[in-house]
Structure 1
Amino acid sequence: MGKLHSKISLHTAKYRADGSREGTGPAGQLGPVHTDGVTSVAALEPDLCVSGGGDKSVAVCSWRSGAVLRRFLGHEREVTKVTCAPDSNRVFSASRDKTVMMWELHGTPGPRQRFPGHNLVVTGLAVSPDVSQLCTGSRDNTVCKWDIETGECLGRAAISRNLVTHLCWVPGEPYVIQTSEDKTIRVWDSRELRVAHTFPAKRHIQTCCDVSQDGRFCLSSSSGSGGEGGQATLWDLRQTRNQVCEYKGHFQTMTSCVFLPQGPAFTPSVATASCDGTVKVWDRDTGACLATSCPPGSGPLASLAACAGSTLLCASLNSGIHVLRVSDRADLALEEVAAF
């Protein structure tokens, strides 16, 4: 991604710890990246992010300054999911317009490739580690596999009532994890596009999933209201494939869950975001809540992305993208350092 930064350069400001900016005039934060709610955010190494929103656009920003480096337009309806692959200049977006598009950071503003074929809103998006294949999922009960270069659909699998909510690829493996409104977490073998494993059904709709970098664990999150549900579950992918731990404490639907990079001073931890407007960091192994943040004016939170430097990006349906930092102190804290 060093080449990426050398090709995309702007005079960007730096945020002070209090959220103000240096070198761009009056103190204050940059204007919002999107003109509507931000529905999805993903990290681009080392300090860029990609986001999509209700304004139908896909934006690439510096999360250190909030400056927009590229903006892609082409979707006809709200962008629902964005993703990318490490060390790649390609960004992928899914939309309520039933399509997926691929964009090149160094290319033209238009899409490099289109992936039409779903009959309803596309709600799941995962790219293979070698950036050769794409898996998509939809509320039309199907999961599809695509050749990224040609745009050809390589396979389609349909399961009754499998309203897909999220997809993520297992690092270094041909497997894709999928959550669904039927309260089930499935492991797909992308080679034959078949279900290789199904975890025991949960009590609530499963809204999101993530996989640890070592490929050993999977996280899933659930819907909820009034303190019922709204929890995350840790699953073992390598041995028993059983439930390992649960994280309870949100009062409404948990919309996003991510593994945090393990620094030398941190115990293994995970982070979650909820419609109750809070972000929580949890001890991965014990389920203890280590820190909570309620970004000002955020309202319902939609998506999380873990970045370098113990940084979390949090997409809000009301107030853009919040930059949160996990501080390395005796008592771990989650502090907002910027918003854009």
Structure 2
Amino acid sequence: MLPLRCQLKQASLRQVLCRSWAVMGKLQSKLKHSTYKYRPDGIIEERLQTKTSQEYSPAHVETVSAVAALNSDLCVSGGKDKTVVAYNWKTGSVVKRFKGHEREITKVACIHQSNQFFSASRDRMVMLWDLHGSSQPRQQFSGHAMVVTGLAVSPDSTQLCTGSRDNTMLLWDVGTGESVERASVSRNLVTHLCWVPREPYILQTSEDKTIRLWDSRGLHVAHLFPAKQHIQTYCEVSEDGYTFLSCSNGFGGEGCEATLWDLRQTRNKICEYMGHFQTVASGVFLPKALALMPIIATASHDCKVKIWNQDTGACLFTLSLDGAGPLTSLAVGDTVSLLCASFSRGIHLLRVDSRRGLELREVAAF
């Protein structure tokens, strides 16, 4: 039997160890859920936005909802200020402002190898604009009963598909502005659309947590992908048309993932990219010349842009755009540049640097 004093010392030591283990457990839990990336050498790093980035003339005075690349110099964007803006992000200057919508712009989509582009709005209208034309819309498309939340242009640029929170999909003749097909699915609140390259198919994400593949020939559902656990906010098809990304709603790390799917034979999940802590708003496939491996990028409401190894799902780099508010849209500008729209700080010009492994930095905001 140990003396009483020794017993008290041992009890005190056990209490100290228990407290230490509890603290260590909490720290490990935090690290497990960290959004930091794991570099090949095992160093954990997250890069904050640089304070040396340039401040260009702003494209919008309020929240930017959507951005898309028109060519290697120009982008088009729309936002809460009801305007569509063509912007030269290499010189940092507004090229042209387009006004016609009565409410917030929700989506923009460009006609491939053209100076024309579309905008959708909460005013239930879709408008076609010409960079070298007048500041008034070249064509107007009216047919939805609620906010238009999806835009997709056919590969040959002759057709436009639109989707809305009114559960409807409409197919339009771009030349005449007339609706040629209409389809409706109960509870199918459209969140995004994209057209599959070289195919008559259109991908569509929905608030009902599903992803649909539509056949534009008659506008009917050709395939329904397995339902996810959360609202699907966005979709993007790879350039070869074999795979596509979908992005998930979420909060506190629940949901908040991007998913890679097979569009060919199995049409099943290939990989998931998990690490964001809030809704993933957008995702893009990055140019193959950037790295030896295929890579993708995602932007989230958690103010972070992440680069991922497409094949393994490993996060290769994380850039925090603190103060930007929720990130709303992501687009590839050129072979090394990304354009990221945000809630509070306009559009961010990001540069991918592959000289020391893949890194991402903010070089300008406008």
TM-score, with length taken from structure 1 = 0.91
Partner of 1:305, secondary structure, is strand
> CA shift at 1:18, angstroms?
4.0
Partner of 2:133, secondary structure, is coil
Post-superposition Cα deviations, 1:233-280, rounded to whole Å, max 9, x if no partner, equal 000001211100000000011111111111163411111111111011
Give the alignment of 1:234-313 within 5 angstroms. Answer: 234-263=260-289, 265-313=291-339
Letter in 2 for 1:126: A
Looking at structure 1, the residues matched to 84 and 361 of structure 2 have their Cα atoms a distance apart, in angstroms, of 26
More helix by share: 2
Match of 2:171 among 145, 170, 177: 145
Distance 1:177 1:84, change over 3 A: same
| Structure 1, unpaired ranges of 5+ | 1-16, 21-28
Looking at structure 2, the residues matched to 155 and 50 of structure 1 have their Cα atoms a distance apart, in angstroms, of 28
Per the alignment, residue 72 of structure 1 pairs with: 98
> CA shift at 1:192, angstroms?
1.1
**Does the alignment pair 1:86 with 2:88?**
no
Moved more, 288-297 or 147-156: 288-297
Per the alignment, residue 3 of structure 1 pairs with: none
Distance 1:146 1:226, change over 3 A: same
| Structure 2, unpaired ranges of 5+ | 1-50
**Does the alignment pair 1:19 with 2:53?**
yes
Distance 1:264 1:220, change over 3 A: closer
Is the 2:57–2:94 Cα contact (8 Å) retained in structure 1? Answer: no
RCO comparison, higher one (Cα < 8 Å, 6+): 2
Per the alignment, residue 119 of structure 1 pairs with: 145
Structure 1 stretches (4+) deviating beyond 4 angstroms?
Answer: none
Partner of 1:129, secondary structure, is coil
Post-superposition Cα deviations, 1:211-230, rounded to whole Å, max 9, x if no partner, equal 00000101000000011000
Give the alignment of 1:186-205 within 5 angstroms. Answer: 186-205=212-231
Aligned pair count? 316
Per the alignment, residue 172 of structure 1 pairs with: 198
Letter in 2 for 1:52: G
Q: CA RMSD in A?
A: 1.2
Specify the structure having the higher radius of gyration (Cα): 2
**Does the alignment pair 1:135 with 2:169?**
no
Post-superposition Cα deviations, 1:118-171, rounded to whole Å, max 9, x if no partner, equal 000000000111111000000000110000111100111000000000000111
> CA shift at 1:329, angstroms?
2.5
